[in-house]
Amino acid sequence: MASDKRLIKKYGKIADKIIALEPQMRELKDEDFKTKTQEFKDYLQVEGNEVDDILVEAYAVAREAARRILGMNAFRVQLIGAIVLNSGDIAQMRTGEGKTLTGLFPAYLNALTGKGVHIVTVNEYLSERDAEINGEVFDFLGITHGVNSSSASKAEKRDAYAQDITYTTNSELGFDYLRDNMVDNFADKVQRGLNFAIIDEADSVLIDEARTPLIISGGSATVANLYKAADQFSKTLKVGENDDAEVDLETKQVYLTEKGIQKAKEFFSVNDLFSTQNTELYHLILNALKAQFTFKEGVEYTVRDDEIMLIDQLTGRIMEGRAYSDGLQQALQAKEGVYIEEETATLASITYQNFYRLYAKLSGMTGTAKTEEEEFIKIYNTRVVVVPTNRPVIRKDETDLTFGTKNAALKHLMGEVKEVHEKGNPILIGTTSVDSSEQIANYLDKAGFDYQMINAKNHGREAEIVAHAGEKGAITLATNMAGRGTDIKLTPEVKELGGLVVFGVEHNEARRIDDQLRGRSGRQGDPGYSRFYISMEDELMIRFTTAKTRQQFLKLGDDYIKSRLFNRSVNNAQKKLEGMNFDQRKNVLDYDNIVAQQRETMYAQRDDILTTENIEVVVERMFYTTAYELVLKHAKIIRDERTLDAESLLKEIDGKYVPKGEFKPSDFDGLENNQIAKKITNAMMKFYHGKVDGVDKNVVDRMDRGIILEVFDDNWTRHINIVSKLKSGIYLEQYAQNNPLSEYVEKATKLFNDMKVKIAEQVTDRLSQVVLREVATDRQPEQIEITDEDIEKIFNETGISKEDLSPEVLSQKFADLKAKVDPKDTDKLKRLKVQEDILQGLVIELQKRGIQPQPPKEINLTEEDVNNIIKSFGFEEQEFTKQQVEDKYKELAENRTPNEMFQLEVARQVLLSIADQIENIKANQAKNEDKGSGQKVSKGRAKIG
């Protein structure tokens, strides 16, 4: 792999070629830019032509466009960064080096393919800001662009993704992908493929957020009282080596000791806490322990408006709409005494790692990622290339001051803040948590300083506050990297004073976060200064120093030590923590990889179900799987050989899956399993065709597709929840000397294969229960005749009337009747099923003959309703005839659901009535011209029969 130095040299030569075209580009007229864009697009339409072939000229055109529109002429280093991005790597560019402009070039170049480019940011403010800035340039170049936001409608999202370039946030992009794979109609999808992504703040998105999967959830049914009980139990426990529970500070895990296990048994009145029936209880207890002992209010979460709101650990921002899964959110709600929401079941989920690996090409920009390059290479197959600064960095990074207590550190900090503030330098104080920022705010208040604060409880104005943080005398207190993406620009007066002063209060888990804080000062060759204040009470120090060392530091009192050797020790602790976090993310990925493969398989099959023109191919495949499983099920082992028990097989399928009397046991003699399965499949298809014979093919196809999708989604949802539970307890396999990951892969694969068989069997069962007419084999012709007396008997027995004869009403009526029957009374349930099938068949037969089974209803319509109906048929501002209404009705009736057809029929009746009135008016006008040629149709009848 080429070193950064060699790559920068190579890309520098390409950048020089781009700059050399500047005189030529200056000669272009404004209207020539769109022409050049079209020339590039035409070139890329030719097979074999690649974007790299036109990179130099395309970048030169975009550079000149940005100069004319924005007044910014990209520096050589920005062009180098842009070339890194097009190569599918991460460009590390320091704060203030112009990453927004850098991203414009690869976005323009790759948008020329017409396959779409996604520019991903960490929040919607940055998406909208960058789209507004670069959007002017894209408009000038003839490239379309859009912004995808969480509040956008489906139509707006679809339009945004249809543009050449789409600005979006990382979470919304992932959720749209999941939602797209839950639609019932392929046309309802909003995305159009994952071609090329440019991720701003790539380390935040691809590293920091990789531990939290994206999850779409639905309702489940664990009772709130159970969470409260588990919370009450956790509050009775003592933590310590010889107590009820142990907390591993390094990994933030909590374990029950033998003493704690005994307490749990007594508290919940169970004999065996680890038995199968107590799996859910043990899961609740573990979540309660985590919530009680490893999660802190103001650090991992905050309480706002009686809700638990998650905090982004590295930016301090509240993560709107995000919640912990697997009951941890409910455990926190129980802990804080707020309303406990219903626990949710996962409907769809994906990790950022596996989502972004779906892109054909992935790149990103950030100020600090080199320390995580190993992770980028192993997980995303992207290098991190450090792009040199446009001007040398002259910021002074001072050695840390280390204190025994937090109070001593903050007292000294206030003294230095006062000294710097009196000189007029702007000050930025960075903290690692909301708690820490509020503690420092108290010190600033007592010292009488005016300051601005950004944390999870006050993040709405962060960009505005950060933009003013470089003004003379400004003091800004920020949780971690709040305001990333917004430059802190200095006035000439502030530069003369020595620039922005950055104070860090305790080190972050990752060195790059410290570097990001320092990097807010000294942008574009500006002067600057940074220093970190450390205390032995900081979380990092507690986790990675001994109690004895911390005790010795207490002897310092209000004094401190200033040691580069100690700095190296802190640096090594951060490296260790980075390694642990990488292992944790890698562990998440290792387990998610098996589910990712299954997810891609399922989503591809789902798309096939949605898009295939001949859904019968899918039905036949399901039938074959079921038939083959039935053959295996009814095979007996005789003298070490598997032999088919044809009698038991026929008993199960005869009249249920195949026409009654279709086969004799001898029909399967001498055939292989697959041959028998194929023979049964053909009979199943014949049986099914007989049941739907005479019904409109579009209706049958919609029914088939709907049933398959419903069964498909139900089983996939159940599978991912089972696999999630499997993962949470798989670590116990190590006590049996087994590799947990290997065991997980094996069990998850078996569950997946079982699920695919279940889908086929359930689809077969559902389709076999469709009774539009009875089907028998040609060998044993059998007819079932339903008389008017039979229908009347059903009405009398069920309480259903002729007015109930519609598919939806019948389904609801019979569902209510079945709910009242004892589940053990199978005869009664079977009788109700037959009665429902008869009445549903009657409705279909009446519809085929053009007979309306229900008496007309009265429907109240307002003037606005009538106007909307006229508009839906496209007749606004014009007269129309009955024939035009009928023609339009036939056109609109294509591919409608029963409910939509009912609404359409109402609209048809309304418009026919209005058309009739129009004809009457015209007739009256013809008879008597003086009755007013300006007569109009009345406001519409109040009731339409």
* Cβ atoms 772, 695 nearer than 8 A: yes
Q: For residues 716 and 602, is the Cβ–Cβ distance under 8 A? A: yes
334, 288 Cβ separation under 8 angstroms: yes
* Secondary structure, 3-state, 359-425: CCEEEEEECCCHHHHHHHHHHHCCCEEECCCCCCCCCEECCCEEECCHHHHHHHHHHHHHHHHHHCC
Helix, strand, or coil (residue 24): helix
Specify which residues 197 forms β-bridges with. Answer: 118, 362
- Find where tokens 């007819």 sit: 783
Per the annotation, does 97 bind a ligand? yes
Q: Tokens 């002897």 sit at which residue? A: 555
670 known ligand binder:
no
Any long-range contacts for 178-182 (C-beta under 8 Å, 24+ apart)? 178/214, 178/216, 178/348, 178/349, 178/350, 179/216, 179/348, 181/348, 181/603, 181/606, 182/216, 182/347, 182/348, 182/713
List, as own/partner pairs, every contact residues 279-283 make where C-beta atoms lie below 8 angstroms and the sequence separation is at least 24, other chains included: 279/725, 279/729, 280/222, 281/226, 281/230, 283/326, 283/327, 283/725, 283/728
- Between the two ends of the chain, the Cα-to-Cα distance in Å is 78
**Max CA-CA distance within the chain?**
112
Nearest Cα residue to 740 out of 752, 726, 751: 726
Q: Does 706 count as an annotated binding residue?
A: no
Extract the tokens encoding 477.
Answer: 């207190």
Q: Judging by DSSP bridges, how do beta strands 500-505 and 528-535 pair with one another?
A: parallel
- Contact in structure between 701 and 693 (CB atoms under 8 Å): no
Q: Tell me the C-alpha distance between 177 and 191, whole Å.
A: 7
d(CA 284, CA 332) in angstroms, rounded, equals 11
In sequence order, what are the beta bridge partners of 311? Answer: 318
Q: Any binding-site annotation on 96? A: yes
With CA atoms as reference, report the closest residue to 426 among 332, 503, 373.
Answer: 503
Does 78 count as an annotated binding residue? yes
CA angle, 542 as apex, 541 and 543 as ends, to 5°? 90
787-797 residues labelled b (16+ CB within 10 A) or e (exposed)? eeeebeebbee
Could you tell me which of 62, 167, 42, 50 has the C-alpha nearest to residue 105? Answer: 62
What is the residue type of 442? N
Give dist(CA 98, CA 79) in Å, integer.
Answer: 11
Measured distance CA(709)–CA(551) in Å, rounded? 64
Asked if residue 99 belongs to a known ligand binding site, the reply is yes
Pairing of strands 301-304, 307-310: antiparallel
**In terms of Cα–Cα distance, which of 307, 312, 308, 344 is closest to 326?**
344
Phi, psi of 388 (to 5 degrees): -65, 155
| CB-CB contact of 675 with 627 (8 Å) | no
Chain centroid to Cα 612, Å, comes to: 26
- For every residue of 641-664, which 3-state class applies, written as one string? EEEECHHHHHHHHECCCECECCCC
Helix axis angle, 224-234 to 258-268, nearest 10°: 140
* Residue 115 · residue 228 · CB < 8 Å: no
Mark 203-221 as b/e (b = at least 16 C-beta within 10 Å). Answer: bbbbbbbbbbbbbbbeeee
Cβ-contact 301, 194 below 8 angstroms:
no
* Burial (CB count <10 Å: 0-12, 13-18, 19+), residue 839: buried
The annotation places the binding site at 78, 96-100, 487
The annotation places the binding site for ATP at 78, 96-100, 487
